[in-house]
Structure 1
Amino acid sequence: MAGQVIVSDHPHAEGVVAVTLSNPVRLNAMTRAMWRALRDVFTALQTRTGVRCVIVRGEGAAFCAGGDIAEYPEFRFSPDSLRAFHEDDVWGGLAAMLDCDVPLVAQIEGACMGAGVEIASCCDLRVAGASSKFGAPIARLGFPMAPREAWLVRNAAGDATAREMLLSAAVLDAPRMQSRGFVQQVVADAQVATHALDIAKSIAGLAPQAARLNKQALRALRGPCPPSDAQAYGYADSREHREGIAAFIDKRKPVF
């Protein structure tokens, strides 16, 4: 099966659940099916008894390298199907994470790009390996970040960082992301899982009702998400959009 989201009780911590993004051949790039599974997973975790903390991680060497671009020609070049992808599949998964009252810890190893930054932005605390890389260089692919996804990343990473990632396709290292407040801890690559588990254990040992109420209060303070805007997807059939994706698939430099 190409790409899945795996849920497992952590064997070394009661009340801690691991959610693993699994598409290792593509560095855990998110497929449409994975976005839908992410929504179902977090909708279920919201009401599951006994869950006190969730660790979100990738399988193998990466957290999540972005979207699975091999799928993109199937749906990206029609405004209607492009809108359905972002508003139903992607935002469905991200919104389920944002609405989950259980504390979420991101265990970030390797690439955290595009969709990976969006998923990490939904987490409450983030620990990263020293060699991790962060960015959303989709300008190289000829398309923008969807409005609600940009709102999410801007809220979590800050306006300056979001602009740097989106406008200059900057890729930032873990220490810089820590200095900007996106990452709480940067540790040696081999220690990321251990530190993420330590944080999760600490959270799981505290009052679960207080954690849920704190998350609800912080969610209310974050402000409203922008509404869906169908006009935002009018670029679907543009030359730049088609060229950027075709160039990536063909492994060549795009001509914009």
Structure 2
Amino acid sequence: RGNLVMSTLESVRVPTIAAIAGACTGAGAAIANCCDLRIASPSARYGFPIARTLGNCLSMANYTRAAALIGFARLKDLIMRARLMDAQEMLACGLLSEITPDEESLPTRAQSLAEEVASLAPLTLWATKEALRRVRDTMIPEGADSDLIVACYTSRDFKEGVEAFLAKRKPVWNGE
């Protein structure tokens, strides 16, 4: 179901903009990855700390979206160390278009960016979005990750991760 939401967001004919303030993790990061442009305040943090929190995995579509934006090596580093990038690192690796001076100016800048993009040739913008989405989609065979999703989401570790998250305690992993 999550992939349907992400695909729907990517299929919007007009460019989409993510305005990021504070933590942008998990599903929030996956949604931001589906947007065409991303801007953030200096407080922004981005990543998938799932190896520390829930013990689950991303879908191949979400891994591919993230890797297309930040590279495979950086994505592995984020996930395998359960770390978050700060706004400066996000900008340096190309995930962000810009960082606003502060959190208060983020909505205004997002609005002005939307107006700037809306003034451009809509068919060019749509064709570019669609072409890049199609290129990325050729990299993922349908159902290629079902065994990975089932292994993680039906595991004892995932159950432990959810219970620990809800209880606000550190999970005890056992690899099962």
Q: For the Cα contact (< 8 Å) 1:106–1:120, is it kept in 2?
A: yes
Is the 8 Å Cα contact of residues 105 and 196 (structure 1) preserved in structure 2? yes
Are residues 123 and 236 of structure 1, via their aligned partners in 2, closer, same or farther at CA, if it must alter by over 3 Å? Answer: closer
**Aligned positions of 1:167-206 closer than 5 A:** 167-187=80-100, 188-206=102-120
CA–CA distance in structure 2, aligned partners of residues 136 and 181 of structure 1: 17
| Contact map agreement 1:142 1:240 (CA 8 A) in 2 | yes
Structure showing greater relative contact order (alpha-carbon pairs closer than 8 Å, 6 or more residues apart): 2
The residue number in structure 2 matching 1:95 is 7
Query: Could you list the runs of 5+ residues in structure 2 that have no partner in the other structure?
Result: none
Q: Give the whole-Å Cα distance in 1 for the aligned partners of 2:85 and 2:28.
A: 13
Deviation of 1:223 (Å): 4.8
Equivalent of 2:74 in 142, 156, 161: 161
Q: State the partner residue of 2:168.
A: 251
Single out whichever of 228-237 and 94-103 deviates more from structure 2. 228-237
Measured against aligned partners, the alpha-carbon deviations of 1:40-75 in whole angstroms (never above 9, x if no partner) come to: xxxxxxxxxxxxxxxxxxxxxxxxxxxxxxxxxxxx
* CA separation of 1:224 and 1:255: change in aligned 2, threshold 3 A: same
Determine which structure has the larger helix proportion and give its number.
2
2:18 alignment partner, one of 96, 101, 106: 106
Secondary structure at 2:160's aligned position in 1? helix
Residue-by-residue CA offset, 1:143-182 (whole Å, 9 max, x unaligned): 2222222122111222122112211101111111100100
Q: CA deviation at 1:120?
A: 0.7
1:222 to 129, 136, 142: 136
Residue identity matched to 2:41: G
2:56 aligns with 143
Letter in 2 for 1:115: A
CA distance in 2, matches of 1:110, 1:156: 19
Alignment partner for residue 155 of structure 2, among 238, 244, 253?
Answer: 238
CA distance in 2, matches of 1:144, 1:217: 27
Which stretches in structure 1 are left out of the alignment for 5+ residues? Answer: 1-88
Of 105, 127, 152, which aligns to 2:65?
152
